Amino acid sequence: MKVHDTANLQQELGHRFVRTELLEQALTHTSHAREVEAVRSQESPSIPFVAGDNEQLEFLGDAVLGLVTTEELCRRFPTFREGKLSKLRAHLVSEKHLIRVAKELELGNYLRLGRGEEKSGGRNKTAMLVDALEALLAGLYLDGGLEVARRFIVQRIIAPEVESIAGEGGAIPLTDYKSALQEKLQAESRMQPIYALVKEQGPEHSKTFTVEIRLQSASGAQPDFVGRAEGSTKKNAEQDAARQVLEYLLSLPENSRAAVRKAKS
């Protein structure tokens, strides 16, 4: 697939890059960079060449997003306690929310991918799109300064979602299933679950992680529930596994839950 010209993307970002190499790097997946390195090394074996990808920019962009989001939430909601602010921030910086912004920008059309990722549908992979979005945030910060990055983050990532939440009565979408599960088990005086990474597969730049979760029984014998989940990161897999346990607990009749609490006390 031919990569689109970035003029429209820069218009959507509200910033025209002076250092266009930052924009190019933000959109370059490691699979493309490694292919470029391989070609250059064949052409000039004696001259080391390292192609830039968006991994470091994604790391920086994640920090910029966290800072701006935290600052903006504190400004908008001065009476909120730390717990509510943390849950709202977790939602705003979550993959589930950011992928919607990445798709609005049509980032898949601009990614520079290796041939393998191109064939496997990399332009539609959530992890790659979200990583590219965070890398773009770093690019905005490095090229235009914090205020340029802040303007985009507030206008396109924070404000629309916060206003949508306010319009729905202030209910924050649940995205941090691990914390929600921890709180529920503490409230029911139950043991915390055990998470175990049971499998990693795929190339280094595109791994899939499989996590198993075990919900311990009150007697400590056989677990009450065992689930498995896959994700593009260990964290994502753990979140999905925690979601499965939450759904299991909510499916139990109230008398069953009461019996567990009684046995535990």
CATH assignment at residue 83:
1.10.1520.10
User: 159 with 188, same domain?
Assistant: no
CB 214 within 8 A of CB 130: no
User: 159 with 185, same domain?
Assistant: no
58 given a catalytic annotation: no
Give the Cα separation of 95 and 65 in Å (integer): 12
CB 96 within 8 A of CB 239: no
User: 158 with 48, same domain?
Assistant: yes
CB 40 within 8 A of CB 49: yes
pTM given for the model = 0.68
**pLDDT recorded at residue 46:** 63
* 21-25 mean pLDDT: 94
Any bridge partners for residue 215, and if so which?
225
**Domains of the chain: total:** 2
**pLDDT recorded at residue 243:** 86
Give the Cα separation of 257 and 251 in Å (integer): 10
Last residue of a domain, one of 135, 167, 199: 167
Active-site residue among 12, 62, 118, 240? 62
**pLDDT recorded at residue 86:** 82
12 given a catalytic annotation: no
Q: How many CA atoms lie within 13 A of 151 on its CB side?
A: 10
* pLDDT tops 90 at residue 157: yes
* pLDDT tops 70 at residue 175: no
Query: Residue 115 domain-assigned?
Result: yes
* pLDDT tops 60 at residue 265: no
The 10s digit of each residue's pLDDT in 35-75 is: 876 766 666 666 554 457 899 999 999 999 999 999 999 99
CB 171 within 8 A of CB 135: no
Domain membership of residue 207 as a residue range: 177-264
* pLDDT tops 50 at residue 262: no
Last residue of a domain, one of 109, 142, 167: 167
- Which single residue is written with the structure tokens 């699979």? 31
Active-site residue among 134, 161, 176, 238? 134
User: 82 with 36, same domain?
Assistant: yes
What is the pLDDT of the chain when averaged over all its residues? 85
Tokens of 213: 């979760």
Tell me how far apart the terminal alpha carbons of the chain are, to the nearest angstrom.
61
